[in-house]
Amino acid sequence: MNQTAATTEQDIILTPNAAKRVAAIAEKQGKAAILRLAVEGGGCSGFQYRFGLSDSIEADDIAVEESGVTLVVDEISLDLVRGSAVDFVESLGGSAFQVTNPNAASGCGCGSSFSI
């Protein structure tokens, strides 16, 4: 995994499985393979994850690369997800990007919100 100079190995990880899924979505939509993870207030546990394709990397973004796909996180969100891994999982309940966040004290059943 290649990372910008502003990140360390422990900041955040994009798994190969997630990178593969982002690449497929980006190709289908004709966009750059840049996945943006943001943390917003709300959800049933206090904070919620937001994923979306991004057209560019902003000056205050932390970026990590895996298999030609870039994961970007703004500095404020990074404080809440530092040390996390972003994966793509498929199960009987459906498929989704999933964040394994060591900072989360609790989460909700759907996995899209958490508390610190």
Q: What is the pLDDT of residue 25?
A: 95
Torsion of CA 50, 100, 114, 54, to 10 degrees: -10
Q: Structure tokens of 22?
A: 């982002």
Range of the domain at 39: 2-115
Number of domains the chain contains: 1
Q: What is the mean pLDDT of each run of 10 residues along the chain (116 residues)?
A: 46 95 95 93 75 93 94 92 92 83 65 49
Q: What is the pLDDT of residue 115?
A: 47
CATH of the domain at 30: 2.60.300.12
How many beta carbons lie within 10 A of that of residue 100, not counting itself? 14
Phi then psi for residue 56, to 5 deg, are: -155, 170
Helix (H, G, I), strand (E, B) or coil at 27: helix
